[in-house]
Amino acid sequence: MTPMFHQFLKICMQDFPETLEYTNTDGNNGTATTTVLKREMLFIPEGDSNSQDNIEIPTCVNYRLHKSRGNHILDSCVQLIDEHLGAKYRRASRTMYGNRKPWKANKLAEMKSPNLVYVSYWDNGALAAFASFMLTEETGLVEGDAAHEVSVPVIYLYEVHVACVHRGHGIGRRLLERALCEGVARHVRCLYEEFFGVALTVFSDNTRARRLYEALGFYRAPGSPAAGAPTTRPTRHGGERVVVPRDPLYYVYCLHMP
């Protein structure tokens, strides 16, 4: 494990709260109930279980050393992704991953990429929410870089999901805004002069998630896929028809934190 990754994990443990709470008030009788979600963190280390770099980090599950717990967390995460976006992934898998394997096999392989960090929150043993991300390098984010070749250090958000029963209580916003952007990314910014900020990929038709990202200041990255400009085509009767190109499958969003 590199000292940088170790430091990154420490920052994540500091900035993501150990519990998340929200209160629900019953509209009929005014009774308030508080739900407390408990944090569990997981990271995917580089190398195998025999690697000397494989160290125990208190309160953060090392996937290679605790495979059974790690697989339980990953399986719960992929199940939540399936509930929320399974239909989209089924349609898009071949284009996104360039093979004919079932999307879940592709997704699980991606989810085990070294240096991914998972921050999950649990409600009595059931996964309530999670975010997964990686400190990595990415191109296509820098304005004015016409060839989209400049590579910058960035926190890439792979997934953020809140189970339906826990939605609309500010959990998504708290995880992204307070913990990831104002917390982790700001702290990483202090370590890295050239650190860019946060980036992510979102299906273009996922309007709810896009609205949340845009509300937090994310914008379409310069190198993101984009719909082309509308064009006109002559009709058989000598008129003109406007052709509006379809949205791309996904957009890349980013948040620059100078």
Ligand X SMILES: CC(=O)SCCNC(=O)CCNC(=O)[C@H](O)C(C)(C)COP(=O)(O)OP(=O)(O)OC[C@H]1O[C@@H](n2cnc3c(N)ncnc32)[C@H](O)[C@@H]1OP(=O)(O)O
Q: Which stretch binds ligand X (CB under 6 A): 9-17, 35-43, 61-69, 198-206?
A: 198-206
How far is the C-alpha of 204 from the C-alpha of 251, rounded, in Å? 6
Minimum CB separation of residue 201 from ligand X in Å reads 6
Strand-pairing partners, residue 252, are 201
User: Is there a contact between 87 and 68 (Cβ–Cβ < 8 Å)?
Assistant: no
Tell me the CB-side half-sphere exposure of residue 253, using CA atoms within 13 A: 22
Examine residue 171 and tell whether it contacts ligand X (CB under 6 A): yes
Six-digit token pair at 237?
A: 């009767």
Examine residue 215 and tell whether it contacts ligand X (CB under 6 A): yes
Examine residue 173 and tell whether it contacts ligand X (CB under 6 A): yes
Minimum CB separation of residue 85 from ligand X in Å reads 6
- List of residues 6+ apart from 9 with CB closer than 8 A: 41, 43, 57, 60, 117
DSSP for residue 99: S
Q: φ, ψ for residue 143 (rounded to 5)?
A: -60, 140
Q: φ, ψ for residue 60 (rounded to 5)?
A: -140, 115
Examine residue 159 and tell whether it contacts ligand X (CB under 6 A): yes
User: Is there a contact between 42 and 73 (Cβ–Cβ < 8 Å)?
Assistant: yes
Residue nearest to ligand X (CB): 172
- Say what the alpha-carbon torsion angle 72, 115, 157, 195 is, to the nearest 10 degrees: 160
Q: Report the candidate in 14, 6, 10, 9 with the shortest Cα–Cα distance to residue 53.
A: 6
Q: Which of 11, 160, 199, 221 binds ligand X (CB under 6 A)?
A: 160
Examine residue 169 and tell whether it contacts ligand X (CB under 6 A): yes
User: Considering beta carbons, is residue 62 or 121 the nearer one to ligand X?
Assistant: 121
Q: Which of 47, 114, 170, 245 binds ligand X (CB under 6 A)?
A: 170
Minimum CB separation of residue 243 from ligand X in Å reads 29
Q: Which stretch binds ligand X (CB under 6 A): 49-57, 138-146, 210-218, 223-231?
A: 210-218
Examine residue 152 and tell whether it contacts ligand X (CB under 6 A): no
Q: Which stretch binds ligand X (CB under 6 A): 4-12, 65-73, 112-120, 154-162?
A: 154-162
Give the footprint of ligand X on this chain (CB under 6 A). Answer: 84-85, 157, 159-162, 167-173, 200, 202, 206, 208-209, 211-212, 215
